[in-house]
Structure 1
Amino acid sequence: MTNAMPGSKPANPCFSSGPCAKRPGWSLEALNGAVLGRSHRAKPGKAKLQQAIDLTRDVLQVPADYRIGIVPASDTGAVEMAMWSLLGERPVDMVAWESFGEGWVTDAVKQLKLADARVLKAGYGEIVDFAEVDFDHDVVFTWNGTTSGVRLPNADAIPATRKGLTICDATSAAFAQALDFSKLDVVTFSWQKVLGGEAAHGMLILSPRAVARLESYVPTWPMPKIFRLTAKNKLIEGIFSGETINTPSLLCTEDYLDALTWAKSVGGLQGLIARADANAKALNDWADRTPWIANLAENPAIRSNTSVCLKVVDPTVTALPADQQAAFAKTLAATLEKEGVALDIGAYRDAPPGLRIWCGATVETKDVEALTHWLDWAFAKATTTLKAAA
């Protein structure tokens, strides 16, 4: 480790975990085909929205009998829509190992006030043992913990013969990790994650089992218009063919279409997974050989390949009070942002202090490798200051 400033910077300093880096080579010209100044219900607008659904199915390899809809309020809106529309018919297991999963727990227990909600939790950097989950219940969980850097390695523990529905928040997993749709009844994600699209739009994917629940069960609570997926006990099919509940941005839709087209150009889902894997490997290989830093997830099998969360383990820092350890991590992030090397890489506000570096498919591996040299430089600079003040 040296105090000498590295000679080259990442070509793209955007390592934010959402909104995430745009695809390589992106420019505003990618939006030239947007249908602007027209109703989203006019034929050109509906065609664009249907194309977004069709390309999503193609790239993400969604089964033909699953419905795909574009919904408001990003991934949050999609998860809330699923929870408010589907839960309450049977007991539910709420599974959480990071802040967004904790949010869904709060909604189920304190907002919907579900009497039969069972909560299973794990700490940051860990994961709930799915052998403890009762799949005769409905189950709500995040596939990839964006704020903890932990993911479900596979869906093997989910039985094909389950009686309950599985509702999966996959916003930082979709397009970067293999989702077994046969084990998932609801899948949600947002455009601004792995493909680097723009914010405020969510995707809601429903299995035939989820559709059957919607058409046979009516929740006891009032249903806001923006959450309504059925009319007269039948699925509103238009939502899943480009007739969105509220007005979508056709500019953002064009950007999502551009991202999906790029995804196909790099090998589709397998190509996207390979890119994210290569980025995460470059970062974790560096962490494994660097004594002052470590992955927050100690078990390699559950480490995320998108939102990689790191903790400072150098004894000089870990000996400090908790607030000073947090301040040290923030200093590292701020130093690199000031140099234009890495933007928005501080840990999530509710997570343990450290760094969170996005390694999704729109990031280039060479930029991750360049970043590691700057991380070493920033650490050396910060510890020199720390020791001088002691």
Structure 2
Amino acid sequence: MPRPFPRPPLRSTAAVLTTMSALAATSFIGAPSVAEPFSSSPCALTRTDAHHSEGVDTWNAAYPKPVRELNAVLVFLSFPDAQPLTSPEQLTADHFPVTSAFFERASYGRFTLRPRPLRQWLTMPRPSTAYAIRRDWNAAHRAAYLRDALAVADGRVDFSAYDIVYFVADPDAPGVDSDATKVVNLDVPLRADGTEIRRFVTVFERHPPDRLVLAHETGHVFDLPDLYHRPADDTGDWDTYVGDWDLMGSQFGLAPDLFAWHKWKLGWLEPRQVVCVPGGGPTWLTLEPLGAGPGVAVAGAAGAPVFGLGRGTKLAVVRTGPDSALAFEARGPVGNDEDACRSGVLVYRVSSTAASGRGPVEVIDAHPETEACWDTSVYPPLADAPVGVGESFTVPGDDVRVEVEGRTLAGAWTVKIAPA
């Protein structure tokens, strides 16, 4: 099928490798050992030791929680074998304010990511080629890069003042590989300025960079998993799990807003905005468009823009097992989803035991015989996945039926969920 641009494997596919410590292969911070109570809803899946588990009953305190202003330092690293062709100001503008704006909209204003860029290049002690930078990065070379970067920056940066560290490499240095951009989690934290640093975002992007790449990587800093599928031989389609429907699946998606489940996990939804659907009988509810928030216009029933949504129900959940659930949310061209291919109620499965990159979320296609937006979608078979007005859909294997009965004058979706 034709594509709007050649799509190499997602830049953030390198983030699969976040399961590797920078200092010791295949080790990471234990999930259950640093838990903070979070949700007591009967539909809140229990967080497991799966990497970036989708459990929402507790918060992993090893990660910063994005429910306040967080400060992020951008450290710009040059190398002895190259003269930078871009300035720190240009590279900062590649990623900000677009990254902060994405999270501002996604969180309904509950979270602010504040970039604090250095104004000059800091020179690494070795040539760029000495670090063998690449997507599947050798642990020893990666550790050497981090140690050198921290040593170079320590005299210029008070790391105790920042919640997030971005190491931004000169994109034109000969040894820099843009596929190596990722978050590196440390089993044993590094220390600087009296503070422990458990993770770094290593940025090797071209100038200009791929769309929303830093927002995707920053999602990992908040314990969100990769939702794409990496084929064993790196061929085939990477977007079969969730298509366009979440930034953690594809940074190129037409509707990249974070799933309502992720907004629940991150603390951006109030308890009353999540409805746990009981079994045994039909439940009627009104779902607000996921992107609707304060000051955001939504197309009403007559098509005219309407303001005022934002505090109503965003997520309906049907528990299907000890570690699994079905999620229902309304998606359309609102907020971060302004380029969404289709509108309706999106249905997806969530597993708290599936690790990052292993399908913790899978969108269920309500129109499996068709596809849409073949020229712009990252995965056209799922571009028309939502259930539209006047349609009903039975979730295969779960005996749950959803009917979308209509739209309110304000633009919310009236939905019935019942046993099949």
Looking at secondary structure, tell me which structure has more helix per residue: 1
Looking at secondary structure, tell me which structure has more strand per residue: 2
Q: Normalised by the size of structure 1, how large is the TM-score?
A: 0.30
Q: Normalised by the size of structure 2, how large is the TM-score?
A: 0.29
Q: Which has the higher contact order (CA 8 A, sep 6+)?
A: 1
